[in-house]
Amino acid sequence: MTERIDPGAPAERTRLAWQRSGFAVLVGIGAVIRFAVDEYHGGRAVALAVAVGALSVVAAVPALVDRTGPSPAVRPALLRLFACSTSLAGLAALLLTLFAPDAWE
C-alpha cells in the first residue's frame, strides 16, 4: 500500500511563510527607512526605499505562485537573492548606526 502524498497543505504553509517574510521586510526594514529619513532628511532613504520595495516583491512572488505539483520547483536564485538582500539591509543598518551623529553619546 503506497502512501498518498498531498503537498497542498505544506505548499499553503510555505506560501504563508513567504507572506510573513514580506511583511517582516516591510516592518523591519521600514525602520531603517524611517531612521534614514529622520537622520539624513530623506537623502539616502530613497535608495533604501527602493531596496525594501524590491525585497517585498521578491517575497511576494513565491506567495502568489501555486506549488501543488508533484515536484515543486526549487528556486535557489530567488532564495539567494532574498538572503543577500536581507544581508545588504543589515549592512545599511550597520553603517547608518555607526555613523549616526549621536552614535557614541
Partner 1 sequence: MRLVPVPRNQVSPLDDDLRVEWTPTRWRRRPPLHHVGTDPDARFTMANERTFLAWNRTALALLAAGLAVAHLLPPFGFPGARTVIAVALIILGAVSALLSYPAWEAKERALREGRPLPPSRFPRLVATSVGLIGLVAAAATLVRQGG
- Where along the sequence are the contacts to partner 1 (CB under 8 A)? 5, 7, 10-11, 13-14, 17-18, 20-21, 24-25, 27-29, 31-32, 35, 38, 67, 70-72, 74, 76, 79-80, 82-84, 86-87, 89-91, 93-94, 97-98, 100, 103-105
CB of 54 to partner 1, least distance (A): 15
CB of 64 to partner 1, least distance (A): 15
Question: Measured between alpha carbons, how far is 27 from 49 in angstroms, rounded to an integer?
Answer: 12
DSSP string covering 4-71, please? PP--HHHHHHHHHHHHHHHHHIIIIIHHHHHHHHHHHTTTTHHHHHHHHHHHHHHHHHHHHS---SSS
Please report how close the Cβ of residue 74 comes to partner 1 at its closest, in angstroms: 6
